[in-house]
Amino acid sequence: MALLEITGLSKAFGGLRAINGLDIYVDEGEVVSVIGPNGAGKTTFFNLVTGMETPDEGSIVFDGQELVGLRPNQILQLGMARTFQNVRLFPAMTVLENVMVGQHARTRAGLLGAIFKTPSQRREEREIEERSKEVLSFFGTRLAGYRHDQLSMVLSYANRRRLEIARAMATSPRLLLLDEPTAGMNPRETIELTELIGRLRSERAYTIVLIEHDMQVVRNVSDRVVVLDHGVKLTEGSYDEISTNENVIEAYLGRPAEMGA
């Protein structure tokens, strides 16, 4: 059975069918890219999988367990983490604190325990700090030691995006959902992030679903590509298969129109 098995997923906002009868599976260890024009329903798909939106219909089974009806923090605890299309960090917290805060939802002590500390909670806090530093070390010099105490708002844009990935990694998820991780990055940063996504799989054994608009990134990291358009799956397959599919080309470029004189 697939790690993530989605069937008949639908979600409407008013009259708009953002997701419409979607079937998607993700096998353990795969990197699957979800692509499609603006408004295709990609982010809504992530919101449904992570419990931030409730589907009108359909089933989302993760590691054999039905997720529909669970709250976002319950889904997080089952081993799923995401990043957002627009960076969502705590600007007035340090780099290290931003990574640590993602894990408090998972600890017994919880967020309140992080404020009113008992000895056992202090131990838990130290473990969280160690794990957070270990995760930050994955990013090499980009988020190295001297940066741990800097406020996240002083980081470069690319580093803030890296920090978001670090925060998602810190909860030790099996499935990582990345929403346009290279958006707004320059070509060099994009290449670096592409390599990082490869390392997330090869060194950390994550299963990854990636929403991505940069086709070079999609080509380089994907085992499989799912193409969405108007909330439905247009096609899926290898990069070579989907990039030569006429329906896909049409969804991106529009129907050929007759050019006036």
Ligand X SMILES: Nc1ncnc2c1ncn2[C@@H]1O[C@H](COP(=O)(O)OP(=O)(O)O)[C@@H](O)[C@H]1O
Can you give the binding site for ligand X, defined by CB under 6 A? 13, 16, 18, 36, 38-44
Q: How far is the CB of 82 from Mg ion (least distance, A)?
A: 12
CB-wise, 24 or 99, nearer to Mg ion? Answer: 24
Q: How far is the CB of 212 from ligand X (least distance, A)?
A: 11
Q: Which residues inside 72-131 make contact with Mg ion, applying CB under 5 A?
A: 85
Contact partner at residue 162 from ligand X, Mg ion, none, CB < 5 to 8 Å by partner kind: none
Assess contact for 176 and 81: CB atoms under 8 A. Answer: yes
Contact partner at residue 41 from ligand X, Mg ion, none, CB < 5 to 8 Å by partner kind: ligand X
Assess contact for 56 and 22: CB atoms under 8 A. Answer: no
Q: How far apart are CA 30 and CA 170, in angstroms?
A: 20
Of 43, 83, 98, 152, the residue at the interface with Mg ion (CB under 5 A) is: 43
Contact partner at residue 194 from Mg ion, ligand X, none, CB < 5 to 8 Å by partner kind: none
CB-wise, 43 or 98, nearer to ligand X? Answer: 43
Q: How far is the CB of 255 from ligand X (least distance, A)?
A: 20
- Single-letter amino acid, residue 116: F
Q: Does position 33 bind Mg ion by CB under 5 A?
A: no
Contact partner at residue 38 from ligand X, Mg ion, none, CB < 5 to 8 Å by partner kind: ligand X
Token representation of residue 247: 């329906």
Contact partner at residue 220 from ligand X, Mg ion, none, CB < 5 to 8 Å by partner kind: none
Give me the phi and psi of 61, to 5 degrees please: -105, 120
Q: How far is the CB of 13 from ligand X (least distance, A)?
A: 3
Buried-exposed string 78-92: b where 16+ CB fall within 10 A, e elsewhere: ebbbbbbeebebeee
Token representation of residue 62: 């993760």
- In the bound state, the residue with its beta carbon closest to Mg ion is 43
Give me the phi and psi of 233, to 5 degrees please: -80, 115
Q: How far apart are CA 24 and CA 181, in angstroms?
A: 21
Token representation of residue 66: 């039905």
Q: How far is the CB of 253 from ligand X (least distance, A)?
A: 17
CB-wise, 85 or 150, nearer to Mg ion? Answer: 85
Rg of the chain, C-alpha, whole Å: 19
Q: How far is the CB of 24 from ligand X (least distance, A)?
A: 14
Number of other CB atoms surrounding residue 187 within 10 Å = 10
Assess contact for 242 and 65: CB atoms under 8 A. Answer: no
